[in-house]
Amino acid sequence: MMIVELVDGDDFRAGLRGLGIEIAEGATPDECACRALEAHRARPVEGLEAYLRELDRQDVVLPEVRQAIARHLGGVIPA
């Protein structure tokens, strides 16, 4: 049996915090994405593009996280 780890809001928040973005405990995926965009606009966050690309390649990102990324951070990843 294969066990798959889903990327949920807590994982998304932890990943962004790992990049040095200050995000409140319990923030929703939408709030996390908004905060990440604000931080990136103020000063480019090293590793953010790579983190978002990695999440984009994964099939196990929950829909609310994927939608928050698309809504707020889609422009961070160059085409």
- For 18-34, write each residue's pLDDT tens digit: 999 999 999 999 999 99
Domain boundaries, the chain: 9-76
Whether 44 contacts 78, CB under 8 Å: no
Q: What is the pLDDT confidence band of residue 9, given thresholds at 50, 70 and 90?
A: very high
Element at 17 (helix H, strand E): helix 9-18
CA distance 9 to 30: 9
Looking at every residue in the chain, the average pLDDT score rounds to: 92
Whether 79 shows a pLDDT value over 60: the answer reads no
pLDDT at 2: 61
Q: What is the pLDDT confidence band of residue 75, given thresholds at 50, 70 and 90?
A: confident
Single pTM value for the model: 0.90
